[in-house]
Amino acid sequence: MTTTPLARRWTTFGPQFLCLLRVVAGAMFLLAGTSKLFAFPVGMPGGATALFPSQIWIGAVLEVIGGGLIVVGLFTRPTAFVLSGEMAVAYFQFHAPQGFWPTVNGGVPAVLYCFLFLYLSAAGAGAWNLDALWRRKSVTATDFAENR
């Protein structure tokens, strides 16, 4: 089977699409946290916010900080690993007791985020990210110090 030039070109966009996946997932995760912490763009049921220092509040802080780091691509791998674990805990603690199937217990987003963040922890940030800029500046500073 032969591939068309368009198909060959399409496959070269993997790093850019990985970056796009990271940014969109991080932004959605950030919004989940701002809903719980600040009732923005909408609050929890009844318009409430999470109470300090409840487990929901701690999760929301992780979602806001972690989601922001994921969006900009800074410390992507360790952040994504922590967020993957947060979503695994959320699923097994809050969703699984409501029933076996994620579509029944409301756990589909938790499962998807868990495995998406697990993937990002292995794959990295994609094409455009602050991790790469951070590494480039660290190497430049190290090279400068060694060449003095």
pLDDT tens digits, one per residue of 25-62: 999 999 999 999 998 988 888 878 988 999 999 999 99
In a domain, 4, yes or no: no
In a domain, 2, yes or no: no
In a domain, 92, yes or no: yes
Q: 131: closest CA among 75, 48, 93? A: 75
Tell me the CA end-to-end span of the chain in Å, nearest whole number. 57
Between 121 and 5, the higher pLDDT residue? 121
- Segment 67-79 shows an average pLDDT of 96
Q: Where does residue 27 rank: exposed (0-12), middle (13-18), buried (19+ CB within 10 A)? A: middle
In a domain, 7, yes or no: no
In a domain, 1, yes or no: no
Count of the separate structural domains present in the chain: 1
In a domain, 93, yes or no: yes
In a domain, 28, yes or no: yes
pLDDT for 44: 82
Tokens of 16: 């850019």
Q: What is the mean pLDDT of the chain?
A: 89
Q: Which helix (H) or strand (E) holds 92?
A: none
pTM for this predicted structure: 0.84
Q: By residue range, what is the domain housing residue 112? A: 14-146
In a domain, 67, yes or no: yes
